């Protein structure tokens, strides 16, 4: 039976981000509980990446399954061209979490949430007398999705190669990076310089053509790049100065991942549009949202035949997904998982300090339960270690029962970072296993 499943998997499933390898065996999961996944061989793994950065409350939550089942029995579907109670209640709860007053457009994935944000930004400017404001600025090494406009906004050349040309109107600038900043700058100075580059790009493109800036509060899949505290405030000031909307992509950073409700809460800003997904349901059902400031929404109260938002999503805001999301946020509040993310993240970072003595560990970055360990050939030159060695670290961790990630298929030559983003519900024993396993694996890297 197991051999048959592997054979059918190889015959029928196209696994994303997996280079072709004849006869390869994927991990075929059978069940999961807490942070642990069990495959069809009976082997168990601590999922140090929460699936794809999303299973924030952990696996096997009966109350989430029950919330979805109960809603499916009562009302299985209603498009949000009309409305339903779970979507209304979820929007209220999201405003509590965000600390703002937003209108919500629901979708199914982070890519769709960002696509929706781009449409809103462009139409908003058209309806406020500046139809030529259409360009979107983002940052190199960022990731904003796999659909075509979201991929155009993404600053990872490897993800876009062979799919181009992509939609026009997307511009990229350098992101502040502490580890690889020019030696003559302090980190704060370099962060401000990068913000100045953003403003320079707006000026070079002409401010009257720039609709929005999109950024994660900290770059995640591109290598866990965390800006100085002054950076996002400076970006917000630039946006206001040039009438450019600020879109904050919280698809990964949101819902407690960084030790606060949302990543932007670390930086004292209030975005114009916020995109949400992944941790909103802890990955149990597809759901995403684009949260839009009411002042932007007001521009769409236009009686012209094309003055409303002509956008729809068949499954966005499905009643069962919204009900499950509400229960998910209730669990996070009850169990204080945002606080736990900060607390356990700090513990892991402290225990990782001894890794800095390793000749190939160049830098460790984290916020909450979000980590990047950058591996280099030489600490003085900071030359990235070979991607094959990063792959060996990931594979050896898996052999020892720990799933970690890497920033593969991002920027050629800079795919040298081990990533870690375990469920926020991990236990102290889980933390010990993560730390011990990574130490053992990295100790064997020669």
- Full DSSP string of 265-304: GGTT---SEEEE-GGGTTTSS--EEEEE-HHHHHTT---S
* Rounded CA separation 93/330 (Å): 9
DSSP annotation of 340 reads H
**The two structure tokens encoding residue 37:** 């996944």
Domain termination residue (choose one: 334, 366, 392):
334
Query: 144 and 28, same structural domain?
Result: no
**Residue 208 DSSP one-character state:** G
pLDDT of residue 252: 98
Q: Which residue has the tokens 């965000």?
A: 98
Pair 302, 371 in one domain: no
Written as tens digits, the pLDDT of the chain (446 aa) is 899 999 999 999 999 988 887 778 899 999 999 999 999 999 999 999 999 999 999 999 999 999 999 999 999 999 999 999 999 999 999 999 999 999 999 999 999 999 999 999 999 999 999 999 999 999 999 999 999 999 999 999 999 999 999 999 999 999 999 999 999 999 999 999 999 999 999 999 999 999 999 999 999 999 999 999 999 999 999 999 999 999 999 999 999 999 999 999 999 999 999 999 999 999 999 999 999 999 999 999 988 889 999 999 999 999 999 999 999 999 999 999 999 999 999 999 999 999 999 999 999 999 999 999 999 999 999 999 999 999 999 999 999 999 999 999 999 999 999 999 999 999 999 999 999 999 999 999 97
Domain boundary among 334, 364, 383: 334
Residue from 244, 248, 235 nearest 277 by CA:
248
* Domain final residue pick, 284, 312, 334: 334
In angstroms, the CA 10 to CA 15 distance is 9
Q: Which domain holds residue 133?
A: 63-334
Domain match, 235 and 363 both: no
Q: Six-digit token pair at 145?
A: 């999705």
CA–CA distance, 227 with 211 (Å, rounded to integer): 23
Contact by Cβ (8 Å): 33, 47:
no
SS3 category, 405 = strand
Distance between first and last Cα of the chain: 39
Query: Are the C-beta atoms of residues 300 and 123 closer than 8 Å to each other?
Result: yes
Indicate whether 306 and 430 sit together in one domain. Answer: no
CA distance 134 to 261: 31
Write the CATH number for 71.
Answer: 3.40.640.10
DSSP string, 26-85: ---EEEEEBTEEEETTS-EEEETTHHHHT-TT-B--HHHHHHHHHHHHH-----TTS--H
Kindly state the tokens that stand for 228.
Answer: 């100085």
191 CB neighbour count, 10 Å cutoff: 25
Cβ contact 56:250 at 8 Å: no
Predicted pLDDT of residue 21 = 78
Residues 286 and 311 occupy one common structural domain? yes
pLDDT for 271 equals 98
pLDDT for 263: 98
Interatomic CA distance for residues 136 and 408, integer angstroms: 25
Whichever domain contains 413, its CATH number is 3.90.1150.10
C-alpha R_g of the chain: 22
Please give the DSSP secondary-structure letter assigned to residue 181: S
Looking at the structure, do residues 81 and 158 belong to the same domain, yes or no?
yes
Same domain, 393 and 412: yes
Rounded distance between C-alpha atoms, residue 379 and residue 385, angstroms: 10
Please answer whether residues 179 and 226 qualify as being in contact, where contact means their C-beta atoms are separated by less than 8 angstroms.
no
Give the list of residues 6+ apart from residue 190 with CB closer than 8 angstroms, or none. 176, 177, 178, 181, 182, 228
Q: The tokens of 364 are what?
A: 């460790």
pLDDT given for residue 1 in this prediction: 85
What pLDDT is stored for residue 199 in this prediction?
98
Any idea which residue has 């799933």 for tokens? 403
Residue 282 and residue 163 share a domain:
yes
Q: Are residues 52 and 67 in the same domain?
A: no
**Shared domain check, 295 and 422:** no
Residues 44 and 69 in one domain: no
What's the domain count of the chain? 2
Same-domain check for residues 6 and 86: no
- Taking phi over 0 as left and psi of -120 to 50 as alpha, with beta for the rest, 196 belongs to alpha
Q: What is the pTM of this model?
A: 0.97
Rounded distance between C-alpha atoms, residue 331 and residue 63, angstroms = 9
Question: What are the φ/ψ torsions at residue 282 (nearest 5 degrees)?
Answer: 55, 30
Report pLDDT for 230. Answer: 97
């Amino acid at each position: 039976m197991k051999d048959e499943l592997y054979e059918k998997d190889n015959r029928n499933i196209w696994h994303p981000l997996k280079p072709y390898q004849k006869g390869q065996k994927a991990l075929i999961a059978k069940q999961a509980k807490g942070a642990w996944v069990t495959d069809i061989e009976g082997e168990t793994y601590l999922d140090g990446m929460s699936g794809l950065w999303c299973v924030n409350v952990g696996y096997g939550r009966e109350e989430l399954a029950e919330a979805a089942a109960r809603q499916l029995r009562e009302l299985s579907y209603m498009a949000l061209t009309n409305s339903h109670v779970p979507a209304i209640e979820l929007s209220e709860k999201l405003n509590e979490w965000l600390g703002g007053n937003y209108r919500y457009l629901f979708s199914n994935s982070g890519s769709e949430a960002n696509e929706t944000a781009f449409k809103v930004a462009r139409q908003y400017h058209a309806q406020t007398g500046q139809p030529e404001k259409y360009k979107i600025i983002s940052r190199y090494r960022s990731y904003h999705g796999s659909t075509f406009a979201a991929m155009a906004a993404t600053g990872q050349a490897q993800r876009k190669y062979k799919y181009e040309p992509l939609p026009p109107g997307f511009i990229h600038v350098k992101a502040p990076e502490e580890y690889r900043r020019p030696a003559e700058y302090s980190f704060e100075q370099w962060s401000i310089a990068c913000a100045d580059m953003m403003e320079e790009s707006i000026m070079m493109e002409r401010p009257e053509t720039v609709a929005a800036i999109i950024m994660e509060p900290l770059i995640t899949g591109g290598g866990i790049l965390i800006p100085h505290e002054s950076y996002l405030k400076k970006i917000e000031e630039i946006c206001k100065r040039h009438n450019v909307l600020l879109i904050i992509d919280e698809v990964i950073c949101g819902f407690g991942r960084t030790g606060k409700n949302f990543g932007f809460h670390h930086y004292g800003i209030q975005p114009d549009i916020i995109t949400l997904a992944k941790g909103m349901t802890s990955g149990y059902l597809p759901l995403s949202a684009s949260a839009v400031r009411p002042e932007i929404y007001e521009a769409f109260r236009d009686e012209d035949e094309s003055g409303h938002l002509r956008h729809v999503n068949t499954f966005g805001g499905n009643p069962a997904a919204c009900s499950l999301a509400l229960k998910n946020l209730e669990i996070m509040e009850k169990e204080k998982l945002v606080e736990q993310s900060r607390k356990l993240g700090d513990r892991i970072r402290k225990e990782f300090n001894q890794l800095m003595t390793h000749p190939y560990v160049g830098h460790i970055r984290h916020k909450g339960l979000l980590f990047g360990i950058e591996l280099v050939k030489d600490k003085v030159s900071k030359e990235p270690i070979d991607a094959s060695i990063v792959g060996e670290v990931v594979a050896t961790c898996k052999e020892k029962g720990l799933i970690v990630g890497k920033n593969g298929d991002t920027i050629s030559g800079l795919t040298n970072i081990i990533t870690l983003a375990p469920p926020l519900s991990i236990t102290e024993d889980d933390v010990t296993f993560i730390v011990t396993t990574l130490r053992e694996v990295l100790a064997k890297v020669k």
